[in-house]
Amino acid sequence: MEEIGHNYIQVNGLKLHVAEVGSGSSPAVVFLHGFPEIWYSWRHQMIAVAKAGYRAIAPDYRGYGRSDPPPDPEKATFSDFLADILALLDALSIPKAFLVAKDFGVRVACVFALLHPGKVEGVVTIGIPFLPPTPMNFQELLPEGFYISRWQEPGRAEADFGRLDAKTVVRNVYIMFSKSEVPTAHENQEIMDLVEPSAPLPPWFTEEDIAVYGALYEKSGFRTALQVPYRSMGTKFDIPDPKVEVPALLIMGEKDYVLKFPGIEDYIRNGTVKSFVPNLEIVFMPEGGHFVQEQSPDEVNDIVLKFLRSHH
């Protein structure tokens, strides 16, 4: 990834690590990662959009990767992440940007577009559709061993993860999230035990990749990551009419386990999502899983670039 540069930007009293490639005068595309991801998750997309004439910017959220941790990670909120993205755009003198988001980064991107529509050219979401910014309650509709329920329980994930090094935790989550079933443990089983130590990595993910993730999570740990998103899903945003009016694109792998969340597939396929995002284009990738931007980067790059060119 020698083409990608790295900087630290001071925002809201913290230094955020920002990966960047492309001309500073080009239209900006800001990439927002999920969990257990990091700026590196966007390596293929960043280089592709930069070669196409855009400025690619991928921050690590506060408490993730090389960015500073928040003063009290257990009190971090989605609102902190939103404020950091706003401050980052200001610090980089970017009046308006495209947002490309994955996993829980979708909530960051979509709420940002609701709060600051004048700063957003368009939004691309991968793996999760826009959901109204109300508390999420999937755990109420799924078994006790649902991974989000377990990770929301104070101390449980810490004890589970703490048995392993950071690289193994990320490895296990990548393997688990790459399957098409919702990760769910039995009553007397922990989430990390869902993956056998001998289980192979997905074929599109290398040992070199997992070494990068492992080193970054070794530095940051998982305190902030467990707080945002998992223990902050009850966050309420006071947005009377949560409608994303900017151009939007949803890329969804048909083998992504998120489609098995109660109601999600119907919400997308029957068009309900378009009542909140009227200018939404939806692309299903038949073989795509949860990490489709890493699994099928060329295909995702083509879809994203077509969208960017259509709206700039």
Residues assigned a catalytic role: 103, 230, 290
Q: Are strands 97-102 and 120-126 parallel, antiparallel or unpaired?
A: parallel
| Nearest alpha-carbon partner for 147 in 15, 260, 26 | 260
Return d(Cα 75, Cα 261) in angstroms, integer: 27
Residues contacting 148, CB < 8 A, separation 6+: 138, 139, 230, 233
Return d(Cα 8, Cα 205) in angstroms, integer: 27
Return d(Cα 295, Cα 289) in angstroms, integer: 8
Please name the amino acid found at residue 187: E
Environment class of residue 238 by beta-carbon count within 10 Å: exposed (0-12), middle (13-18) or buried (19+)? exposed
Task: Please say whether the beta carbons of 68 and 14 come within 8 A.
Answer: yes
Tokens matching residue 248:
């939007």
Tokens matching residue 134:
């109300």
Residue 19: strand pairing partners: 6, 58
Placement of tokens 């990738």 in the chain: 285
Tokens matching residue 239:
């947005």
Return d(Cα 294, Cα 253) in angstroms, integer: 12
Find the DSSP H helices in 97-155.
105-115, 147-152
Task: Please say whether the beta carbons of 244 and 276 come within 8 A.
Answer: yes
| Nearest alpha-carbon partner for 248 in 128, 112, 125 | 125
